[in-house]
A and B are shown apart, each in its own frame.
Chain A
């Protein structure tokens, strides 16, 4: 346990070094995280890969859309058969269009929901942040107790951390 701090760096290399320092001081990986203004691959930062399970969202979305398409093109004419143009009440080729569009709509909506759920957005109340990040700075968010922080402060400053802010002291 301990308090959370946010250290800001100008560039990737120093941030990577800082992560190494923190690890050396015994800060476990799960107490570290990176916030950046552009995407920086986990491998570059030497961080564990973020698991992405988008397929688990997109696939059910596709199936749901497919089911909706089948219901509309095959189900509804069976519920209330109306004969048009001498065509059969149910036929696959003309149904494909609607089935296709609904499947795609399903994937689109499910991907959006999958993104929001996995990235835990929206998070309007989150305060662990610094505006310099969207100016391109790399932020390292870490958790350590007071004795640890005394050791780490100077080293991070030495690595070029231009901001070192205690974020909160109450969170468990």
Chain B
């Protein structure tokens, strides 16, 4: 160790750089962070109100008026027909389940491997999961012919002594989503408790104080509370990863367990999981950029986070491309007649070919072009563009899998053509608005940054002198035995 006297004059500069690069080294008093996060939460501007009302209007239009109209008149108001019995409702369902995989799954994976940079992003990611699942869970109901009989799928004793058919992939789906939604809600809630207590302690509004006292369960931060919270989170982290993987696998089994050419595929399970994470991470990047900009969280959400998310996105681009190509090539080689019909329809110069090529461009070329460079990953608008491109591409992929694949079958006489109807489009817009609205509302109800986790990270991170420079280090408090 060299003494202070021989310290390099640039060391102050080095320290500055280290702090700028890593939130966890750039320590600030907890009080300051608390108030900053709470101010962002309590500020309700005119713009916010206008946005919220606008989104609320779209939700009303799509999910009350359009859906109500469909329930009143029947599914004929949608564009589906024979043989395309499943349309955008199912494509949307798969899409939103996919989005839900960014939050909880990414957060759980990062927690389980101890990725310290995750600390400021987990809350925003986990909230995404819950809302995306709520939106996704609505779609089977919208899709059903008799929505008002949805409870016949629930296993409850009834006078007919009839239970649902647990052999049906749709039942698997319902149970998997129920499990995942329950798990994700609790996974979001548990680390939120100390922050709810923080709001209770320092909020000036009486009603908010009262509400947050109830929501925080009277949390104080005793040794027992922290200990059990920690263990519960550890269990959840490792439970939620296989549950999340199972959810999208089961969604893929809705297709793969069938007889439909183009659906009956053994690779669908992992392919869907990979695609879900892919679209989810893309959406997460967009959400983080929005939260950072509109809530003024530049201190918490930095280049380092966008950079890391961008790297995960790029990895997932390669994974997705690999899985997609793997499935495509085996079907090409198999030369099954019905699949040849389908390929003629959706590739080369077939009527659905523009969708196919657009999918490849938005899912492979654009993301790689943006994400290969650090500048692309860390520039907010560029990584958002990559995220949006991925989500367009992944939506097209689901669209191709559902209505496009159903348009072709083994009987050329019964081929069909599907165009979404205005009702379907309005409902889709309504559900997208619902997701954004829920997020916009949440941002004014709970702290979107997990302040205590950020502080815990900052306490654990130090800058130490080694030789002639300063290096960052971690003191692993949580491992103290």
CB atoms of A and B under 8 A apart anywhere in the complex? yes
**CB within 8 Å for A39 and B165 given contacts A115-B232, A133-B220:** no
- Of the candidate stretches B53-61, B301-309, B438-446, B451-459, the one touching chain A is B451-459
- What chain A residues lie within 8 Å of B201 (beta carbons)? 131, 133-135
* Range for the number of chain A residues in contact with chain B: 35 or more
A-facing mask of B360-388, CB < 8 A → 1, else 0? 00000000000000000000000000000
User: What are the interface flags for B166-190 relative to A under an 8 Å C-beta threshold, 1 for contact and 0 otherwise?
Assistant: 1100011001101100110010001
B contact residues around A44 at 8 Å (CB): 477, 480
Binary per-residue interface labels of chain B (23-41) against chain A in the complex, 1 for a CB within 8 Å, 0 otherwise: 0000001110010000000
Interface string of B230-247 (1 = CB under 8 A from A): 111001100100110010
B155 interfacial contact with A, CB 8 Å = yes
- Whether the pair B166, A76 counts as a contact (CB closer than 8 A) is yes
Known A35-B222, A123-B218: A111·B163 in contact at CB below 8 Å: no
Q: Is the CB of B227 within 8 A of A52?
A: yes
**Given A37-B30, A112-B186 in contact, is the A43-B227 Cβ separation under 8 Å?**
no
- Specify which chain B residues have a CB less than 8 angstroms from the CB of A45 in the assembled complex: 223
Q: Are B179 and A119 in contact, with the CB atoms below 8 A? A: no
Is B481 an interface residue when CB atoms closer than 8 A count as contact? yes
Contact B223 A34 (CB under 8 A): yes
Q: Which of A41, A120, A123, A126 has the most CB of B within 10 A?
A: A41
- Whole-angstrom CA separation of A124 from B211 in the bound complex: 11
Report how far A112 CA is from B30 CA in the complex, Å.
28
Least distance between A131 CB and chain B CB atoms (Å): 4
Which of B162, B167, B172, B459 interacts with A80 by CB under 8 Å?
A: B162
Which residues 213-229 of B have a CB within 8 angstroms of A? 213-214, 217-229
Complex CA distance for A105 and B286, rounded to whole angstroms: 31
* Count, chain B residues at interface, CB 8 A: 61
A36 with B221: CB separation less than 8 A: yes
Q: How far is the CB of B477 from chain A (nearest CB, A)?
A: 6
Q: Does B161 have its Cβ within 8 Å of any Cβ on chain A?
A: yes
Closest to A138 in B: B221
Are A42 and B235 within 8 A (Cβ)? no
Q: Are B243 and A122 in contact (CB under 8 A)?
A: no
* Interfacial chain B residues near A82, Cβ < 8 Å: 165
Q: A residues 3-23 with Cβ under 8 Å of B?
A: none
Known: A108-B186, A119-B229. A134 touches B179 (CB 8 A): no
Residues of B contacting A80 in the complex (Cβ-Cβ under 8 angstroms): 161-163
From B161, B228, B239, B479, contact of A115 by CB (8 A): B228
Q: Contact check: which of A34, A35, A39, A108 meets B182 at CB < 8 Å?
A: A108
Q: Are A128 and B186 in touch, CB under 8 angstroms? A: no
Chain B 130-182 interface residues, beta-carbon cutoff 8 Å to A: 155, 161-163, 165-167, 171-172, 175-176, 178-179, 182
Contacts of B29 in A (CB 8 A): 135-136
Query: How many Å lie between the Cα of A118 and that of B223 in the bound state?
Result: 11
Distance between Cα atoms of A38 and B250 in the complex (Å): 38
Query: Given A102-B175, A124-B213, A124-B217, A47–B229 Cβ distance below 8 Å?
Result: no
Does A26 count as interface, using CB distance less than 8 angstroms?
A: no
Residue pair A134, B202 in contact (C-beta under 8 Å): yes
A101–B176 CB distance below 8 A: yes
B217 pairs with A123, CB closer than 8 A: yes
- Bound together, the chains give a CA A93 to CA B171 distance in angstroms of 15
* Chain A residues with CB under 8 A of B171: 98
Residue A50 lies at the interface, judged by CB distance under 8 Å to chain B: yes
A24 within 8 A of B: no
> Smallest CB–CB gap between A140 and chain B, Å?
11
* Interfacial residues of chain B within 455-481, with CB under 8 A of chain A in the complex: 455-456, 459, 477-481
Whose C-beta in chain B lies nearest to the C-beta of A117?
A: B228
Chain B hits for A111, CB < 8 A? 232, 235-236, 239
Q: Once bound together, how far apart are the Cα atoms of A24 and B407, in whole Å? A: 82
**Which of B166, B221, B225 is close to A134, meaning CB atoms less than 8 Å apart?**
B221
CB closest chain-A residue, reference B459: A38
**A51-103 at interface with B (beta carbon < 8 Å):** 52, 54, 58, 72-73, 76-77, 79-80, 82, 84, 87, 94-95, 97-98, 100-102
Interface pairs (6), CB distance under 8 Å: A33-B223, A36-B221, A50-B227, A112-B186, A124-B214, A135-B29
